[in-house]
Chain A
Amino acid sequence: MTDDVTPVVRGRGLVKRYGRVTAIDHADFDLMPGEILAVIGDNGAGKSSLIKAIAGAVQLDEGVIEIDGVPTRFRSPIEARNAGIETVYQNLALSPALSIADNMFLGREVYKSGFMGKYLRMLDKKHMRDFARAKLTELGLMTVQSINQAVETLSGGQRQGVAVARAAAFAKRFVIMDEPTAALGVKESRRVLELIKDVRDRGLPIVLISHNMPHVFEVADRIHIHRLGKRACVIRPGDFTMSDAVAIMTGAMQPPEAAAA
C-alpha cells in the first residue's frame, strides 16, 4: 500500500485470547481513507473479534491500534462512537416500534434550546425530523412515506437503509458494517450495495464484513482475508477471482507474498 497516506486505522500485532483460545493471533489491519475494505474469513477465523476490537467492544491483550495515526484504545463501543466510529450491526440495533427519526437519534437526542430544553428536557423533534429527512434524501432513501413511520413497517432493505443512513450521518472517521446484505433478497441487496458505495463516495471509509463473495467483489476496493486469527493477505478484487479468495481463506492456496505486507 502507499506509505505516504496515514491509514484511518492501523493495527499491528493485535492479540486477543479467550482462556486458551487465541481468537486474534498477532493480526495486522489497515483501513485507508476513502476505501471500502471488505473483511472475509472462514467462520471462527477471528474476523468478528478483530472488528469488535476495533469498535471497542472487545479489549485487546496485545498490540496497538492507531486511529488517524494516534494510538487509541477504546474501552467501550460508546467511546468508539464518540470518536466518530459508527457500527451497523447485523441485527441493525434499531428499535422497531419507534419512528425513523427517533431511531436516527436514539441515544443522542437533540434538545430544544432555551427554557423548554434546559429545564423540561424537551426534544427538538422538528430538528431531528428535518435532519433525518435530509440524510435519507441525500442517500436516495426518501422512498419511505413518512419520517414518522415506525421502523417495523419498513421492509428489510429499508431498515438496513435507515441503519446505514444513521451510521453515515454521525460517523466522522469510518463506518463498520456487519453482514449488511445477509438478511436481504437480491433486489434489496443491490440497493444496499449502492448505498454502501454512495457512503464511500462521500468520503467515509467503510469496513465491510460479509460472507457474500459476489457482493464483496462488487463493492470492495481491497479485501482483507483473515485466516487462523491473522491477516493472510490483502488483495484487490481486480487481481484475483472469487475462487482464489476462497482458496486463500480456506488455506487451499498460499497467500500472495507481495500483497501480504
Chain B
Amino acid sequence: MTDAPAAAGAASGPASGPGPASGRTPQDYETAASRESAVAAFDVKAKSPLDHFQHFLHANPTAAPIMVLALSVAVFAATANNFLTAFNLSLIIQQVTVIGLLGAAQTLIILTAGIDLSVAAIMVLSYMIMARLGVEGGAPDVVAVLIGLGAGLACGLFNGALVTRMRVVPVIVTAAATVALLTLAGLSVIWAAPVGILLGLAAGGAAMSGKLPAGPSMQFRLPPFIATLGAWSIFAALSLWYSGGQTVRSQSIDAEASLLKVFGLRVEILGAQFTYGSFLMVLVFAGLWYVLNWTGWGRAVYAIGDDKEAAELSGIRTDRVLLSVYAVSGTLCALAGWAAIGRVGSASPQSFAEGNLDAITAVVIGGTSLFGGRGAVFGTLFGALIVGVFRSGLSLSGFDPLWQSFAVGLLIIVAVALDQWIRRVSA
C-alpha cells in the first residue's frame, strides 16, 4: 500500500466544470452541483499507525494467526520443559491432523457464509463404512476406501441440496429403496447401505443431466446452521445403525484392511516423527489454497460468502457453486475419516463427539470470518496448530487440563473480536 499523501495528490484527477446543456439559461439550483468541481475528487484520509495495522491484517488474513502461533511457541519454549523439541513439535502436528483436515472442510463452508455442524458426523459415518466394509464385509481395501469417500461425498451433497434449490427426491428415494430391497433380499447392511448410497448418487447424477425425472421442485434453501444441525443427528444415527454400535478393533483392521491405517504410518526425520496423515493434511491445505486463490471457482466461493446477491448479479451460478462446495467438503470429511483410522487405530462410532466444534474453533482462530467471504484456508491450519500448541504447552507446564479448555475459549473470543475490528476497515 502506498502512503496517503501521494494518493491524495493524485486524486485531484480530471475534473472540469461543465455547465448544463445549452439552449436555456441554467437555473441557480441546477448549477449548484457544478460549483465545487475543482475539488471533485475522491477523498483519501490520512491514516494512523493503528489504521495501517488494521489494513495490514485486513489484506493478510493469515498474518494474525501466524503471529499468535509464533508468539505462543516462543512463550511455551521459554516456560515449558521439553516443549521445543523436534519430537514434541511433530507430536503436536500429529495431534492436529484430523481436526486440521476437518477444519479444511469446514473452512470451505464457512467462506460461503455457511456452517456445517455435521463435519465430524460425516467423518465418523465414512470411516465406519470404510472399516466395516474392509474388515467384516471382506471388501478389498481400495474398494472400502473409495466407497467411504463416496459416502462422504453423498453426505456433502445431501447438505448442499438442503441449502440450495437442488432437488433431492430421486436421490433419497433411490437410496432408501435400494437399502430396503437389498436388506429384504437378505444382504447384510454392511453392503446394502453403501450400495444404496452409490445408486442414490448415480440417480442424482442422472437427474441433474436430465436422464431421470428430477422430481418435485422443493426449493429448500434452508439456513445452513439448522440444516446441518439436522444432518448431524441423521448422520450420527446412521453411523450407529450401520456399525451396530460396535467398534472395529485395531487388530482386525491390521489383519484385514491395513490400507485403512496407512495415514498412521510414521517417518522419522531428524528426531521428529511425522505420520503420512500429517503430509496428507499439508497437501490438502495446499490444494485448497490453490483452488481458492487461483481458480474462478475459488473467486466464486469468496464472492458468494461476501455477498450472495452481488455474486448472482455478476453472473455466478451460486447454487451450483454452493452444491459443489458442500460436495468437496463432505469428501474431505471422509478423507479426514481415513486419516482418523490411522491416527486412532480403531474405528468407533462414538469417537470425535467434539470434532465438529474443534474444527470450527480451528477455522475461527485461523482468522476466517464466520460471516463469510473473508479468510484464508491456511489460517485454519495455523488455527489448529495454535490450539495444539496451547494444549501441549499448558500440559507440559503442569497446568490442569481444564485450563486448556479455558485458553481455547479465550482464543476463540479474541479471534472473533479481532475479526469484527478488521471487518470495520474503512477507506
Contact = CB atoms under 8 A, between A and B. Distances in A.
Interface of A: 77-78, 81, 87, 89, 91-98, 102, 105-109, 111, 120-123, 125, 140-146, 149-150, 152-155, 157-158, 161, 186-191, 194, 197, 214-215, 217-218, 220-221, 236-239, 241-242
Given A218-B33, A242-B30, A121 B296 contact: yes
B24 A238 contact: yes
Contact of A97 (B16, B40, B295, B374): B374
B315 A190 contact: no
B310 A91 contact: yes
B351 interface: no
A188 B307 CA distance: 24
Contacts of B11: 143
Nearest to A92: B310
A239 B40 CA distance: 28
Contacts of A215: 33
Contacts of B18: 197, 218
A125 B307 CA distance: 22
Interface string B301-342: 011001101110111100000000000000000000000000
Contact of B294 (A123, A140, A161): A123
A158 B296 contact: no
Interface in B75-119: none
Interface of B: 1-2, 7, 10-11, 13-16, 18, 20-24, 27, 29-30, 32-34, 36-37, 39-44, 55, 58-59, 290, 294-297, 299-300, 302-303, 306-307, 309-311, 313-316, 373-374, 425-427
Given A91-B309, A150-B59, A191 B42 contact: yes
Given A155-B42, A238-B24, 14 more contacts: A95-B373, A121-B296, A143-B13, A146-B1, A146-B2, A186-B36, A187-B42, A187-B43, A190-B34, A218-B30, A220-B21, A237-B21, A238-B21, A238-B23
A152 to B, nearest CB: 7
Given A145-B2, A145-B7, A237-B20, A190 B302 contact: no
Contacts of B23: 236, 238-239
Nearest to A237: B21
The 8 closest A-B pairs by CB, nearest first: A238-B23, A107-B315, A93-B313, A109-B296, A190-B40, A143-B11, A107-B314, A106-B314
Contacts of A106: 299, 303, 311, 314-316
A149 B59 CA distance: 8
Given A145-B1, A158-B427, A194 B14 contact: yes
Contacts, number: 162
Contact of B310 (A95, A142, A155, A191): A95
A242 B427 contact: no
The interface residues of chain A, by DSSP majority, are classed as: loop
Contact of A95 (B297, B303, B427): B303
A7 B203 CA distance: 50
6 contacts: A97-B374, A107-B314, A149-B59, A186-B36, A190-B33, A236-B23
A214 B33 contact: yes
Nearest to B424: A152
Contacts of A95: 302-303, 306-307, 310-311, 314, 373
A190 B37 contact: yes
A5 B10 CA distance: 41
A133 B276 CA distance: 45
B316 A153 contact: no
Nearest to A152: B425
Contacts of A221: 21
A81 B307 CA distance: 20
Contact of A94 (B16, B29, B310, B426): B310
Contacts of A158: 42, 427
Nearest to B304: A95
B29 A214 contact: yes
Contacts of A187: 36, 39-43
Nearest to B10: A143
B301 to A, nearest CB: 11
Contacts of B43: 155, 187
Nearest to A154: B427
A107 B24 CA distance: 45
